[in-house]
């Protein structure tokens, strides 16, 4: 094993586009920077008959195959599953879901029974307006987009101790009003007090007595001037502790940059993006499904050899380069041989992955849109293991729909996923009943149409995303290692796992672009010892601050 990758360290590139990506990848441009300067230029070509093996047909693997193919490389995608997309997974009627058992063997968990035309995104579900790469490829591939609604004032927030069920807008605006009144009482600056009066909807005495921002006390009537719903008291707001991080949800997540409007989703399901890539891969790119990699060898001469199984049949392939989109949680179970550095092997073995679960329901009546709820999209935040309920942003006013009935993380997801899938559905239904009693009605939300996925148990995934912690010294070493090539520039790691945006498709595409530029000599394949990298904060970037 070598202790370095055989290439001399290179400083940051002079090209503006490449340098922007480089600064974003190493974290120098900030944790949410994307390094986007426009659609990828075609850069320089390559000699004919240059072969690349791409391991894994997730979003990063597809992006790499597409961009390398345009530059003249001959690519072969080896995908272990019988579908492309990785965690970009949209559940539809007839789809079969699997999870591994305690021994690591795949077990069938669900066959989706949604009605024809209904679907649910089990993986990524939204595209922020500033994720320019994702939006670029959607445009280039003709993938139609529609607004994704992250938050509405009619969404709900619940707490258990004490028990409350409040409209998001009422809680948010009453907090604002009470804080503005306290600040106004503490200052005599007329301009500041005037600002606080409008900010908090205070009365002329700078007191907060309620506001129609929080809703009306009763439906509008031509004979009555609208009165605001009575304000929550500051005492009951503080007692609820709705904002505390120990709660499973993040009430203020919609205010964080990654979830601010506008957000989008592909019309018809997130997998429309995967289909767009599939349609536009060049003829020189070959896709091999059902190819489970068992061994990767960086050879002394002759490039990289990859051994894999198709069914029970051992096969192998050799190429000049290899780009691995395999999650490190899976790669650590694959034999790595030849010229891999000790630092790389440590990173593969050490990088932790987040546990995360989702539950999906078909509802035979869109009860969340009725007179009593009036919820059209957004998320309700639940002080329960289900954590979140997502309402569909599409097909409003239609007879039926699908909801995400749970989305949880970490220890909560670990405990939730310990149950068998049917018990998870029962637990998810009980949690959702606290928000919407309609979940207790089998004829409205049939158990037979429920699905659940624990991403840390899905074969060939074994995790939601890399669980990076910026203050961890090992994580700093591992993240930097993954940004470098192995075997003298013949083996590269890609995916959101090696990007400043873990858990996001934009991060996967960033990483793929970075690797393509490394292979063409436009970005350093080895980072100089003095180059510091900033490790992304996975919790903040996937769950909010």
pLDDT of residue 366: 98
- Tell me what percent of the chain is helix, strand and coil, each rounded to the nearest 5: 30, 20, 50
pLDDT of residue 326: 98
Q: Give the tens place of pLDDT for each residue, 390-407.
A: 999 999 999 999 999 999
Report the alpha-carbon distance of residue 427 to residue 362 in Å, rounded: 16
16-85+273-352+469-543 folds as: FAD/NAD(P)-binding domain (3.50.50)
Give the largest CA-CA distance in the chain.
87
pLDDT of residue 162: 85
Among 542, 360, 361, CA closest to 469:
542
pLDDT at 125 over 70: yes
pLDDT at 431 over 60: yes
pLDDT at 219 over 90: no
Quick one: DSSP state of residue 262?
A: P
pLDDT at 434 over 50: yes
Confidence of residue 225 (pLDDT cuts 50, 70, 90): confident
Task: Report the mean per-residue pLDDT for the chain.
Answer: 94
| Tally of residues, the chain | 545
Q: What is the mean pLDDT of residues 268-297?
A: 97
pLDDT at 13 over 80: no
Note whether 39 and 488 are within 8 A (CB): no
Quick one: DSSP state of residue 502?
A: T
pLDDT at 246 over 90: no
Q: Give the tens place of pLDDT for each residue, 53-88.
A: 999 999 999 999 999 999 999 999 999 999 999 999
Q: What is the mean pLDDT of residues 189-194?
A: 97
pLDDT at 14 over 70: no
Q: What is the mean pLDDT of residues 277-289?
A: 95
pLDDT of residue 15: 84
Phi, psi of 471 (to 5 degrees): -90, 0
Helix and strand numbers, DSSP H then E, in the chain: 14, 23
pLDDT of residue 12: 62
Per-domain residue ranges for the chain?
Answer: 16-85+273-352+469-543, 90-122+355-457, 167-243
Q: For 12-20, which contacts have Cβ atoms below 8 Å and span 24 or more sequence positions?
A: 12/524, 13/522, 13/523, 13/524, 15/522, 17/41, 18/517, 18/522, 18/523
Spacing of C-alpha 508 from chain mean position: 10
Confidence of residue 3 (pLDDT cuts 50, 70, 90): very low
Report the alpha-carbon distance of residue 429 to residue 439 in Å, rounded: 6
pLDDT of residue 161: 79
pLDDT of residue 1: 39
Crossing angle, helix 59-70 and helix 271-280, to 10 degrees?
20
Spacing of C-alpha 177 from chain mean position: 34
Confidence of residue 160 (pLDDT cuts 50, 70, 90): confident
Pick the CATH number of 90-122+355-457 from 3.90.660.10, 3.30.1330.60, 3.90.470.20, 3.20.20.70: 3.90.660.10
Task: Please check whether the domain covering 167-243 is classified as CATH 3.40.50.300.
Answer: no
pLDDT of residue 32: 77
The tokens describing 498, both together, are 């090696």
Phi, psi of 521 (to 5 degrees): 80, 15
Report the alpha-carbon distance of residue 464 to residue 112 in Å, rounded: 21
pLDDT at 6 over 70: no
pLDDT of residue 362: 98
Confidence of residue 244 (pLDDT cuts 50, 70, 90): confident
């Amino acid at each position: 094993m070598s202790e370095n990758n055989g290439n001399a360290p290179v400083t940051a590139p002079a090209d503006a586009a490449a340098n922007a990506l480089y600064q974003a990848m190493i974290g120098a441009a900030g944790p949410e920077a994307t390094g986007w300067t426009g659609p990828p230029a075609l850069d320089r070509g390559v000699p004919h008959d240059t072969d690349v093996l791409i391991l894994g047909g997730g979003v990063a693997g597809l992006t790499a195959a597409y961009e390398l193919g345009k530059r003249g490389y001959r690519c072969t995608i080896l995908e272990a599953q019988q579908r492309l997309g990785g965690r970009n997974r949209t559940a539809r009627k007839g789809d079969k879901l699997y999870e591994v058992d305690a021994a690591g063997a795949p077990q069938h968990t669900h066959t989706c029974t949604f009605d024809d035309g209904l679907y649910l995104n089990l993986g990524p579900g939204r595209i922020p307006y500033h994720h320019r790469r994702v939006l670029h490829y959607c445009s280039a591939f003709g993938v139609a987009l529609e607004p994704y609604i992250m938050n509405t004032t009619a969404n709900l927030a619940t707490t258990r101790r004490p028990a409350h069920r409040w409209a998001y807008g009422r809680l948010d605006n009453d907090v604002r009003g009470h804080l503005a009144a306290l600040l106004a009482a503490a200052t005599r600056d007329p301009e500041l007090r005037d600002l606080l009066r409008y900010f908090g909807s205070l009365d002329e005495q700078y007191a907060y007595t309620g506001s129609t921002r929080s809703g009306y006390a009763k439906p509008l009537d031509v004979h009555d001037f609208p009165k605001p719903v009575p304000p929550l008291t500051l005492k009951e707001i503080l007692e609820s502790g709705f904002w505390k991080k120990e709660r499973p949800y993040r009430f203020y997540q919609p205010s964080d940059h990654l979830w601010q409007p506008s957000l989008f989703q592909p019309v018809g399901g997130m997998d429309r993006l995967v289909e767009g890539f599939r349609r536009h891969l060049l003829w020189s790119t070959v896709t091999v499904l059902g190819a489970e990699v068992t061994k990767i060898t960086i050879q002394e001469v002759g490039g990289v050899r990859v051994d894999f199984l198709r069914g029970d049949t051992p096969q192998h392939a050799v190429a000049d380069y290899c780009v691995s989109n395999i999650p490190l949680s899976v790669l650590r179970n694959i034999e790595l041989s030849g010229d891999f550095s000790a630092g790389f092997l440590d990173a593969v073995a050490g990088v932790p992955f987040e546990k995360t679960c989702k539950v999906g329901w078909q509802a035979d009546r869109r009860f969340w849109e009725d007179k009593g709820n009036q919820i059209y999209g957004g998320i309700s935040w639940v002080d329960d293991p289900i954590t979140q309920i997502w309402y569909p942003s599409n097909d409003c006013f239609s007879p039926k729909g699908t909801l995400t009935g749970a989305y949880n993380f970490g220890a909560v997801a670990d405990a939730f996923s310990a149950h068998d899938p049917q018990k998870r559905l029962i637990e998810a239904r009980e949690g959702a009943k606290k928000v919407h009693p309609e979940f207790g009605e089998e004829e409205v939300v049939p158990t037979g149409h429920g699905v659940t996925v624990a991403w840390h148990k899905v074969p060939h995934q074994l995790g939601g995303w890399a669980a990076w912690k910026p203050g961890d010294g090992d994580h700093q070493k591992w993240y930097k290692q993954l940004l470098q090539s192995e075997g003298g520039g013949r083996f590269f790691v890609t995916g959101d796992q090696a990007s400043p945006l873990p858990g996001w498709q934009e991060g996967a595409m960033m990483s793929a672009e970075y690797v393509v530029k490394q292979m063409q000599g436009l970005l350093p394949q080895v980072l100089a010892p003095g180059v510091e990298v900033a490790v992304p904060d996975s919790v903040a970037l996937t769950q909010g601050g």
